[in-house]
Amino acid sequence: MGGKLPGNIFRRGAGAHRDRRNPAWQRVNVGGIAVAFPLRVRSAAPGPIRTWSPWGREYARDPARYVFGTAPSDWGREIARLVRPGDAVLDLGCGEGRDGVFFAELGATVSGLDLSADGLAKARRLARRQGVSVRWIAGCMSEALPAGPFDLIFSCGALHYVPRARRGRLFRRLAGMTRPGGHQAHVVFTDRLVYEEKGEVVDYFTAGELRQAFVEWQILRNGERMISCAQDGSVHAHSVEELVAARPVVSAPRPAET
């Protein structure tokens, strides 16, 4: 997932069309740039998917280079307005730590969880460089999660690596780990426009799937977008859905009136 997230975006459907000369390709206009890329159409009834993230391998390639950069993602910057000093924040699939470190710089108490030890080693170095302390946790988010509660559970381009068959359980656990009145903010790849990068195997979210996981929450923001990306050296686009939701504060039942 590109360093700019979600950047150079356009609204749902705008500008995306099949290439007339080659229907296996799609053309889109991303931030004024025409981009063509091979179109992958998924079968109507896909079976269970074994996902694979290429990012651990990429982080290890050059220990000195931050694949996603050290500045916060656009998504992290947008969500920063929800973060107050002292808040407990969990960054799921935190990678090399760009957003976790940013939230810690805002005064939050941050836990960052990722599969990749190489990503976390870079995250640790970034936190040291920025003079903040973050709890970095190596592990798979669909298996071991830190104990909550959290004021914000955040992810940027990571939840689609959890197979759909495991996502229901994950969302239920995350809901229980979010403080009443607290927030979750996620941006995920959707199957509207599929571009496979570096051999990754993604279980793309379908339209509305992310929102469905938060039906009982207050939806503060939800929408589909296209983002530009050039992580593999060629400019291309991904379709994403983003969501910001607040967990309802359930007030105690009033005593019966006499």
Residues that bind ligand SAM (CB under 6 A): 1, 53, 55-56, 68, 73, 93-95, 98, 113-116, 119, 140-142, 156-158, 161-162
Find the shortest distance in angstroms from Cβ 140 to ligand SAM: 4
- End-to-end, the C-alpha distance of the chain in Å comes to 60
Q: In Å, how far are 16, 60, 186 from 189, measured between CA atoms? A: 16, 24, 10
The C-alpha atoms of residue 238 and residue 253 are separated, in whole angstroms, by 46
Find the shortest distance in angstroms from Cβ 113 to ligand SAM: 6
b/e sequence 18-27, b meaning 16+ C-beta within 10 Å = eeeeeeeebb
The three-point CA angle 228-230-234 to 5° equals 115
Nearer to ligand SAM (CB atom), residue 29 or residue 142:
142
Which strands sit side by side in the sheet containing 33-38, from one edge to the other? 17-18, 25-30, 33-38
Which strands sit side by side in the sheet containing 150-156, from one edge to the other? 134-138, 109-114, 88-92, 150-156, 178-189, 236-246, 218-229
Nearer to ligand SAM (CB atom), residue 98 or residue 247:
98
Nearer to ligand SAM (CB atom), residue 147 or residue 215:
147
Find the shortest distance in angstroms from Cβ 95 to ligand SAM: 3
Nearer to ligand SAM (CB atom), residue 140 or residue 246:
140
Nearer to ligand SAM (CB atom), residue 106 or residue 140:
140
Find the shortest distance in angstroms from Cβ 36 to ligand SAM: 23
Find the shortest distance in angstroms from Cβ 128 to ligand SAM: 18
